[in-house]
Amino acid sequence: MKKLIQIIKGIDQKVLPLDLDCSLVQVRKELTEKGIMRDSVLFCYDGSAKIDKTDEHDFKLSVVLKGRNKLILTDIESKRPDLLGDHVDWLRDRHLAVQVRLNMVG
């Protein structure tokens, strides 16, 4: 069964129909073909846990979403860290946007 899923990667957000019963390997293939994912991007589970690429075949999309319609991705090779400990400038969710900077003075 396909459902519209909001895909969030840093400040980039897209809405795509995805099959809830497919594995994350299949989701990665589809999102890579659409230019949304690259090798260094990981799926996030339960808010902050990152799923290693070698374990993606063990997870169905429906399990990772936990009844929600948001799929969070994080790029572990980006230049700046996001709130998941990885690297983006901004984190945005609905009407809230957060920018995090480290004070590197002195």
The chain-wide mean pLDDT, for the chain, equals 80
With CA atoms as reference, report the closest residue to 19 among 60, 70, 73, 80: 60
Tens digit of each residue's pLDDT (9 = 90 or more) over 45-78: 876 678 888 899 999 999 998 888 888 888 777 7
pLDDT band per the 50, 70, 90 thresholds, residue 30:
very high
- Across the range 19-23, mean pLDDT stands at 93
Asked if residues 11 and 99 have their Cβ atoms less than 8 Å apart, the reply is no
pLDDT (0 to 100) of residue 89: 56
Collect all residues with Cβ–Cβ distance below 8 Å to 29 and sequence separation of at least 6. none
43: β partners: 51, 73
Between 80 and 2, residue with greater pLDDT:
2
Longest dimension (CA), the chain: 55
